[in-house]
Amino acid sequence: MSSYEPKLVCFSCKFGWGYLGNEEALAKQIKNWVPIICSGKVDSAHILTAFRQGADGVLILGCRGGDCHYQDGNYEAKKRVHLLHKILESYGIEKERLRIELSIDPEGNKIPQLVKEMSDKIAKLGPVKKFGEPAKAVAVA
Amino acid sequence: MWKTESKGIARAEEAVKQFLPPCQIKCPINEDIQRTNVLISLLPEDPQQAREGIIQISDYLYNKNPFFNICGYICGLCELECNYKAKGGAVRRRLLKRFLSDVYTDYLKQKEEFSVIKDKENVAVVGGGPGGLMCAYALSKKGYRVTIFESSNRLGGALWLIPNYRLPEEVLKATVDNLVRIAGIDVKFNAKLGEGKLTIERLRNEGYKAVFLAKGTPYPRVLTFDGATVEGQDLSGVMYGHTLLYEVSHGNIGANYFKGKKLIVIGGGNVAFDVGRTAQRLGGDVTVACLECEDKSSRDGIPADEEEISAAWEEGIKIIYSRGVRKIIGEHGKFKGIECPKCTCVFDEKGFNPKFDHSDCLDLNGDLLIITVGQVPDRAFLQREGLVDERGRLAVDPFSLQSLLKEQVFIGGDVRRIGFMVEAMKEGVVAATSIERYLRGLDMREGRQRDFEAYSIPLRKTYKPEAEVVWIPPEKRMHFQLFERGLTLQEARAEAKRCVTCGPCVSCKACISIGFEKSLYAVEVDREKCSGCGLCVFACNYSAAHLVETDGRILSATDMFKCKSCGMCVVACPSNARKLVDDDTERRIAKVMASL
């Protein structure tokens, strides 16, 4: 249990996050990181695929409200996360495993921090429970 | 590291019909406004790093518009057509440029000269104002050897008449002096064409293959009433606004020059307000009287800018609208007052043709009368040089600016038609193209006519109010220092971020310059998969995605001029029919997914 390290996928909008930082150095700190031109470009299918492939959580970082270069991409992403929470929960995937943060951090220093924070929270939840598998079984393993 | 790179030119290809954001269409020289806005919004917070970014952005602007730092103080035409106007105020583009200027004006003196081999013909530019300088700049960059003949001892022309509290002298001087250095333009000062032996013929004999005449309007227009000159303009105490601004700019007029004096300024243009505000700063008690009415939206409305009028009013200047000057009254050779009948109509279908109600006449008394009703070119010179037609009008082709009477002469700027600084600059650019065509033996017109089409504002959930313009309060600004505060880095980034980038990507490409995107991806629709449901139309904020009927089927399509390659439609499409060609995002996502 102590060796369990959750796998997180992080999408971040290029217009708000880390564009001034060194992308290579950041990539070393952030596993499974996908800088993307707009958070609105993150498809629901991408998020579901991540969970299907074994991700324990998905973090989406978008621009601040009203700052989107493509008008409302961040708003669309937020809406999508809201709807996906309901779907994920119906499959037994806790909504804490999908998070969207709308803010700005040109240097990108906050990204590893946010990933760590979320990772810690998910560690407490344990791995995603496979459908039909009782929660207890996972805890024992 | 903040770095912009321009891979090729961001400007859209010149086309018969070109799509641009409305601000860039309004700008006579079509400055790359959207691109700068996006890049300013992405500047680093650290002042030193931001400085480097500002210089990179400015260098790019400078290439097309070496006057941009002056525009940042006095222009702002682009703001008139900003799509944001109706949604909380135009993006303060002028102040954003001034923000760049605050760093770049200082940097100009260390900017390197362009390395251009000057192996083309000699061209003479007559007049060192914005029109002349712009023409010289454009030709010089193309390898022509350009010499400016300037009648005074300084470059800048009529820009010197703009008071220091609006355009600081250091900014003007740094801009014009460095412009000729950077572009490698020769300047002959105190060389007035038409004086002594210096004529167009002489220039030709000296080997100048073409001449651009941009002598401006050196003389004030005299006051007329009913088509006749108003008597008494030679009285002591009557002067022209031009003369005042000229003398002030040369430092010939001391503080409190007008102390205790009651002044009447005649005129309703920006120059009249410059004169009024200058005189008020010199201690005078100023009243501005103009023919036009206060309703700027009407045909007879006052031509001065709203900002000028409100600033003047704040500074204690009285404004009297709809009054003409019928008579100037003098006493013992000194000015005493004017008779001002009510003006009932300024323009009719024939143009300027004021009508008056003589029964309603206001008498205004004062110590000094300053007439600022416009300025005129040196007609005698134009006549002597044989550049006017039999009706006494300048004979010039308005499209190419080529003289109709002397083929090697091109005429533009205020001398042809009075306008804003940037309009004179535009004429300089047009003349430069014409001169090149003339010297290369090319057709004057072929492929030069361009039509522009603007886009409307994209849809979004939230709009933000404009940045506040901060003026020093009137009681503290009655001096010749700048009265408007510039934007801070933080304010500039926020204001630039407001820009909704309504123009097409091809005219901007800021995202490529800064390395966010590799190219502008086109959207491809798979005809087999598309069901014609129209979700993409709903998802698109730019009205780019639309439905068309082909072969009896409804299919979605994308207007490539309006598309921003954001991918919102791709995400929205339930049948995976849309994709961005060459975009590697999907591949990068798939790679991460596979590694889980």
Give the ipTM of the model, two decimals please: 0.90
Query: Is-contact B238 B229, C-beta < 8 A?
Result: no
Residue in B45, B541, B596 nearest the CB of A71: B541
Residues of B in contact with A14 (CB under 8 A): 516
Residues of A in contact with B44 (CB under 8 A): 20, 106
pLDDT more than 90, % of chain A: 80
- Domain positions in chain A: 8-140
Based on C-alpha coordinates, what's the Rg of chain A?
15
Sort B17 into a burial class: Cβ within 10 Å, 0-12 / 13-18 / 19+: exposed
What distance in Å separates residue A24's CA from the closest CA in chain B? 12
Going residue by residue through chain B, which has 596 residues, state the pLDDT in tens, using 9 for 90 and above.
567 765 544 444 455 568 899 999 999 999 999 999 999 999 999 999 999 999 999 999 999 999 999 999 999 999 999 999 988 899 999 999 999 999 999 999 999 999 999 999 999 999 999 999 999 999 999 999 999 999 999 999 999 999 999 999 999 999 999 999 999 999 999 999 988 889 999 999 999 999 999 999 999 999 999 989 999 999 999 999 999 999 999 999 999 999 999 999 999 999 999 999 999 999 999 999 999 999 998 999 999 999 999 999 999 999 999 999 999 999 999 999 999 999 999 998 888 999 999 999 999 999 999 999 999 999 999 999 999 999 989 999 999 999 999 999 999 999 999 999 999 999 999 999 999 999 999 999 998 888 888 888 888 888 888 888 899 999 999 999 999 999 999 999 999 999 999 888 888 999 999 999 998 999 999 999 999 999 999 999 999 999 999 888 999 999 988 899 999 999 999 999 999 999 999 999 999 999 98
Q: What is residue B1's predicted lDDT score, i.e. its pLDDT?
A: 54
B50 close contact with A: CB closer than 8 A: no
B457 close contact with A: CB closer than 8 A: no
Query: Is-contact B373 B266, C-beta < 8 A?
Result: yes
Q: Is A65 helix (H, G, I), strand (E, B) or coil?
A: coil
For Cα atoms A117, A118, A120, give the angle at the middle one, nearest 5 degrees.
Answer: 65
Topology classification of domain B523-594: Alpha-Beta Plaits (3.30.70)
Residues of A in contact with B501 (CB under 8 A): 69
CB contact under 8 A, B514 and A43: no
User: Considering Cα of A119, then A120, then A121, then A125, what sign does the dihedral take?
Assistant: positive
CB contact under 8 A, B585 and A68: no
What distance in Å separates residue A43's CA from the closest CA in chain B? 5
What distance in Å separates residue A79's CA from the closest CA in chain B? 12
**In b/e form, how buried is each residue of B498-512, taking b as 16+ CB within 10 angstroms?**
bbbbbbbbbbbbbbb
What tokens does B407 get? 């083929």
Rounded-to-integer distance, Cα A116 and Cα A109, Å: 12
Residue in B2, B461, B571 nearest the CB of A72: B461
| Residue B213, phi then psi, degrees to nearest 5 | -100, 110
Q: What is residue B10's predicted lDDT score, i.e. its pLDDT?
A: 43
Rounded-to-integer distance, Cα B400 and Cα B349, Å: 28
Sort B307 into a burial class: Cβ within 10 Å, 0-12 / 13-18 / 19+: middle
- Domain positions in chain B: 17-111+486-513, 122-214+378-439, 220-376, 523-594
Q: What is residue A123's predicted lDDT score, i.e. its pLDDT?
A: 94
Q: What is residue B281's predicted lDDT score, i.e. its pLDDT?
A: 96
Q: Is B518 helix (H, G, I), strand (E, B) or coil?
A: coil
CB contact under 8 A, B566 and A55: no
pLDDT digits (tens, 9 = 90+) for A101-134: 999 999 999 999 999 999 999 999 999 887 655 5
**In b/e form, how buried is each residue of B348-361, taking b as 16+ CB within 10 angstroms?**
eeeeeebebeeeee
> Which CATH number is correct for A8-140, 1.10.260, 3.30.430, 3.40.50, 3.30.1460?
3.40.50
What tokens does B532 get? 């014609």
Rounded-to-integer distance, Cα B133 and Cα B136, Å: 5
pLDDT digits (tens, 9 = 90+) for A42-60: 999 999 999 999 999 999 9
CB contact under 8 A, B514 and A106: no
Helices (H) and strands (E) in chain A, counts: 5, 4
- B122-214+378-439 and B220-376 agree in CATH topology: yes
When pLDDT is cut at 50, 70 and 90, the band that residue A141 belongs to is very low
B117 close contact with A: CB closer than 8 A: no
What distance in Å separates residue B581's CA from the closest CA in chain A? 15
pTM, to two decimals: 0.91
CB contact under 8 A, A43 and B570: yes
Single-letter amino acid code for the residue at B144: Y
Topology classification of domain B220-376: FAD/NAD(P)-binding domain (3.50.50)
Q: Which CATH superfamily is domain B122-214+378-439 in?
A: FAD/NAD(P)-binding domain (3.50.50.60)
What distance in Å separates residue B118's CA from the closest CA in chain A? 40
